[in-house]
Amino acid sequence: MQKHAKSRRLFFAIMPNTETRSTIQRTTRDAVKQAGGRPVPPRNLHITVAFLGNIDAGAAQAVMRNPALDVSGFFVEFGRYWHSKRNRMLWLEPLTVPQELQILEKQLWLGLSEHGFVREERPYRPHVTLARNANPIPTSEVTFRWKVRSLSLVESITHASGSRYEPLHTWQL
Ligand code: ATP
Ligand code: MG
């Protein structure tokens, strides 16, 4: 292993296309405004599928080569808001987790475990983070479907102004 391997903060995510990004913005605008705090910039909206953390460049290369995925495109039906008192996060959650997404997450970790990555034990809870340092909001509905056609490996780059996400690879489903 390289002595001073550069580390990269990586995660697998579903990134919205332009249309879905606009839909999320439009349908959640009032709730996000009401919650206050720091709204997630539109370009950062995503659903994390597998978080890898800070890994060295060599391990990142290995991960990029071949996630063995055998899932076709699917829809995610939204949704409901969820506010964490502890983390002061505002999430948007699907009404139910599509089976394809559960399978996708399992297949990813199966491949990742061959590279020595270990999945945290807590259940997978897909969501879109909408705001940080947010206040609770009354329950309200937000109804739209997100057509998922691809999965991306994304680098999280920390800037003084906040994190920026850079897709490194995208696989069509
Ligand atoms: P910041 O941490 O700078 O406030 P961020 O949380 O958006 O910004 P990252 O911490 O790099 O950026 O996280 C990237 C994505 O991975 C986010 O969706 C985040 O919720 C998720 N994530 C971060 N840590 C974990 C973890 N330990 N387990 C699962 N998902 C995680
Ligand atoms: Mg974080």
Domain that includes residue 113, residue range:
8-172
Cβ neighbours for 6, distance < 8 A, ≥ 6 positions apart: 56, 57
| CA atoms of 19 and 26, how far apart (whole Å) | 11
Between 58 and 127, where is the model more confident? 127
* Spacing, Cα 43 to ligand 1 middle (Å): 15
What CATH number is attached to the domain comprising 96?
3.90.1140.10
CA distance linking residue 103 with residue 39, whole number of Å: 30
**pLDDT of the residue at 5:** 57
Per the domain annotation, does 95 fall within a domain?
A: yes
Contacts of 127 (CB under 8 A, 6+ apart): 47, 82, 91, 92, 93, 94
Within a domain: residue 30? yes
* DSSP state letter for 42: G
- Phi then psi for residue 133, to 5 deg, are 55, 40
User: Looking at the CA of 48, which ligand is closest?
Assistant: 1
- The preferred substitution site among 8, 155, 156 for testing ligand 1, maximizing ligand atoms within 8 Å of CB, is 156
Give the distance (Å) from ligand 1 centre to CA of residue 9: 9
Q: Is residue 1 assigned to a domain? A: no
Number of structural domains in the chain: 1
Tokens of 130: 């909408």
In a domain, 3, yes or no: no
**Ligand 1 atom nearest 158 alpha carbon:** 3
Name the residue of 49, 124, 163 whose CB sits within 8 Å of the most ligand 1 atoms, as the mutation to test its pocket: 163
Q: Give the predicted TM-score (pTM) of the model.
A: 0.94
| Contact by Cβ (8 Å): 12, 67 | yes
Closest CA to 161 of 23, 30, 38, 16: 38
**32-81: pLDDT as tens digits:** 999 999 999 999 999 999 999 999 888 888 888 877 789 999 999 999 99
Residue 41 belongs to some domain of the structure: yes
Determine which residue's CA is closest to atom 31 belonging to ligand 1: 51
Q: Which residue has the tokens 């071949």?
A: 66
